[in-house]
Chain A
């Protein structure tokens, strides 16, 4: 399988990365080189093989359902580019 320019632009939009025409053209070549390389996986017989979900067999740890953390609003917004009283500020999303 290979991708064309249109697909690359669509994927870039899905990934929320702005691409110029030139970027998209370069990426098309690079992505096709990588997709060409991974193509060889199709020759592997995977009939009856379960896809891996966990690399080491382990039971999912569960925590007690109690409050152990919180009251850290100042810490949480401390690194944000724009805030107002412990809220993240973003451009208007609803007209």
Chain B
């Protein structure tokens, strides 16, 4: 393939080691792609071209010396939530105006130590609060996928590489693209859009209620939220500390495994970082899943779910069954309470975490007649509507007289949600299969979502349980809906059993094929 930006990380890694390509070449290819596409897609908020070229040069030197790291010369995009030393780090909020940290997050430091190249900082919902990337101070990100009308033309042989789609049966489907712009999901919308549009080989992302898995599902990419404690939170701008986890978004399952291995570590700087060795996730890819017990939770069949999603779920079940897995019906009775409990716990933690943005130590300051007025004006001007809404909810549920009724009740419900999963795993279930999202990508400035915040929150209905229970979850593309938009399936695993997720997700990927948007941008 001539276009270097279309190589997967594993393909690029092999070509770099074999000296077929250089880190400088692949980095330049991505920088040119970003220059052309970013004015349209708005995936990057800062491009660090000079730094990328310097890092690529250093990578080429190490490759020549035979000292290549696990990600040597691989160009990555970094979500704006990760502190990067001397470089724009604002969680896409106005309140962190001009903030350039004097330190590096542990996750990004791990990536650079393995030789990765930084292309720039990726757009996201402000402070990771949102499911459409529309709450960013830097404007919405556009999904490279568009709806289309489908006409099927049966081809005599399998045909690939001309911008069309290829399905397993060798039928080429010609699509007429619709002009409506769609959201990439959120909060890691820039990460998902950039990976899907070939503007980076892979990206870092974070997930508090579904912010890796939902955008991955909306863009036909693979996203994994590892177990709470697997990736260090040090240097990641905090939203809800008991739920936040970093993870990668990548173009295939193997690439996600490669990235997670580098991102994960035991970190003395994060007291919730777990002290256990990071497995070689890539090693499990291709291992058979024969005899594996796959749970299908009946509570994930919700009212108003599109038929396409139900059909895709059934397909996923069939694929795993064909691969020798045992399918069992399970019940997670407290599922419907996960989202309401989340909308108490997450805002409560956010209201506390975001108290630090006061116009004194960093970022924006709006003057006032006294210090309280300065705080109030700074925060009024610096935070967007959704962030203010969540700070207000959090402040209210933690305020005197309401703490027990809301916060304590929600934390008790959270214990029950976690217990549901523990019971299922104790009964021998190895992995749980669910849809990743209740819909495909929706339009920018969708009126329904804009008029009712709760409608937007419902995007996370299938993903949020996983954060509440601290479990690992992966979203893997599994098909296209009737309008040609990607849909994902989610696999949920036992704590620290990311290996089973990669192993099983790879089986789905093999059966479903890979999906990429037709280029219009």
How far is B399's CA from A63's CA once the two chains are assembled, in angstroms? 33
A75 to B, closest residue via Cβ? B102
Are B363's CB and A61's CB within 8 A? no
Taken residue by residue from 27 to 59, chain A's Cβ proximity to chain B (1 for < 8 Å, 0 otherwise) reads as 100110111011111101010011111111010
Decide if A34 touches B453 in the complex (CB within 8 Å).
yes
The residues of A that contact B395 with a CB separation of less than 8 Å are 11, 14-15
Tell me which of A17, A19, A42 has the highest count of chain B C-beta atoms within 10 A of its own C-beta: A17
CB distance from B15 to the nearest CB of A (A): 39
A5 at the interface (CB under 8 A from B): no
Give residues 391-426 of B contacting A (CB, 8 Å): 391-393, 395-396, 399, 402, 405-406, 408-416, 418
State whether A15 touches B392 (Cβ < 8 A).
yes
Number of A-B contacts defined by CB within 8 Å: 170
Confirm or deny: A90 has a beta carbon within 8 angstroms of a beta carbon on chain B: yes
* A67 contacts partner chain B, Cβ-Cβ < 8 Å: no
Q: Which of A51-77 contact B (CB under 8 A)?
A: 51-56, 58, 60-61, 63, 72, 75-77
Contact of B365 among A37, A40, A72, A82 (CB under 8 A): A82
In residues 314-367 of chain B, which contact A (Cβ within 8 Å)?
A: 334, 336-337, 340-341, 343-344, 351, 355, 358-365, 367
Q: How large is the interface on B (under 10, 10 to 19, 20 to 34, 35 or more residues)?
A: 35 or more
Given contacts A15-B392, A37-B340, contact A88 B358 (CB under 8 A): no
The reply to whether B409 and A46 form a contact with Cβ atoms under 8 Å apart is: yes
Q: Are B389 and A44 in contact (CB under 8 A)?
A: no
| Listed stretches B132-140, B173-181, B278-286, B371-379; interface member | B371-379
Contact A30 B379 (CB under 8 A): no
Q: Are B393 and A31 in contact (CB under 8 A)?
A: yes
- Residues of chain A within 8 A of B273, CB atoms compared: 61
Bound together, the chains give a CA A8 to CA B99 distance in angstroms of 31
Please tell me the number of chain A residues within 8 Å of chain B, measured between CB atoms: 53
Knowing A52-B418, A55-B469, say if A91 contacts B396 (CB, 8 Å). Answer: no
Of all chain B residues, which has the CB nearest A78?
Answer: B102
Report chain B residues within 8 Å CB of A63.
268
- Chain B residue, CB-CB nearest to A16: B375
Asked whether any CB of chain A lies closer than 8 Å to the CB of B113, the reply is no
The contact of B358 among A16, A49, A58, by CB within 8 Å, is: A16
Tell yes or no: B454 within 8 A of A by CB. yes
How far apart sit A53 and B468, CA to CA, in the bound complex (Å)? 12
The answer to whether B389 touches A50 (Cβ under 8 A) is no
Q: Find chain B residues with CB under 8 A from A1 CB.
A: 402, 405
Q: Which B residues are CB-close (under 8 A) to A76?
A: 102, 361
What distance in Å separates the Cβ of B380 from its nearest Cβ neighbour in chain A?
4
Q: Given B271, B351, B454, B470, which contacts A55 in the complex, CB threshold below 8 Å?
A: B470
Q: Please, which residues of chain B bring their CB within 8 A of the CB of A52?
A: 242, 411-412, 414-415, 418
Are the C-beta atoms of B340 and A18 separated by less than 8 Å?
Answer: no
Chain A nearest CB from B56 CB (Å) reads 28
Return chain B residues, CB-CB under 8 Å to A17: 376, 379-380, 383, 388, 391-392
Q: Which of B360, B396, B408 contacts A80 (CB 8 A)?
A: B360
| Partner pick for A81 among B272, B359, B373, B399, CB 8 A cutoff | B359
Considering the chains assembled together, what is the distance between the CA atoms of A30 and B272 in angstroms?
A: 34
CA distance A54 to B357 in the complex (A): 26
**CB within 8 Å for A41 and B358 given contacts A16-B372, A78-B102:** no
Chain A residue at minimum C-beta to C-beta distance from B342:
A38
Q: Does B3 contact A (CB under 8 A)?
A: no
Q: Residue among A7, A30, A44 with the most chain B CB within 10 A?
A: A44
Q: Is B452 among interface residues, defined by CB-CB distance under 8 A?
A: yes
Q: B412 near A49 (CB under 8 angstroms)?
A: yes
**Chain A residues with Cβ under 8 A from B108's Cβ?**
none
Determine whether the beta carbon of A44 is less than 8 Å from that of B399.
Answer: no
Contact status B374-A11, CB under 8 Å: no
Partner of B416, one of A11, A19, A46: A46
Partner of A56 from B227, B361, B396, B416 at Cβ < 8 Å: B227
A42 & B380 in contact (Cβ 8 Å cutoff): no
Q: Would A33 and B242 count as touching, CB distance under 8 A? A: no
C-alpha spacing A86/B228, complex, angstroms: 37
Contacts of A18 in B (CB 8 A): 373, 376-377, 379-380
Contact, CB under 8 Å: B495 / A40: no
- Report chain B residues within 8 Å CB of A58: 229, 272, 274
Question: In whole angstroms, what is the CA distance A19 to B370 when docked?
Answer: 17
Cβ–Cβ contact A27 & B392, under 8 A? yes
Contacts of B513 in A (CB 8 A): none
In the bound complex, residues from chain B placing their C-beta under 8 Å from that of A78 are: 100, 102
Residues on A with C-beta less than 8 A from B337 are 40-41, 44
Residues of B within 8 A of A12 (CB): 392
From residue B359, how far is it (CB to closest CB) to chain A in Å?
Answer: 6
Indicate which residue in B99, B367, B375, B396 contacts A79 across the interface (CB closer than 8 Å): B99
Across the interface, do A15 and B379 meet the contact criterion of CB distance under 8 Å?
A: yes
With both chains docked as a complex, state the minimum distance between the C-beta of A90 and any C-beta of chain B, in angstroms. 5
Nearest 5 CB-CB pairings of A with B: A55-B470, A51-B411, A81-B365, A79-B362, A18-B376
Q: Could you list 29 A-B pairs, sorted by A, with CB under 8 Å?
A: A18-B379, A27-B389, A33-B454, A34-B453, A34-B454, A37-B343, A38-B343, A38-B406, A40-B337, A41-B344, A41-B409, A41-B413, A44-B409, A44-B412, A49-B416, A51-B412, A51-B414, A56-B227, A56-B228, A56-B274, A63-B268, A78-B102, A79-B102, A81-B364, A88-B360, A90-B371, A91-B370, A92-B370, A93-B370
Which A residues are within 8 Å of any B CB, using their own CB? 1, 3, 7-8, 11-19, 27, 30-31, 33-35, 37-42, 44, 46, 49-56, 58, 60-61, 63, 72, 75-82, 88, 90-93
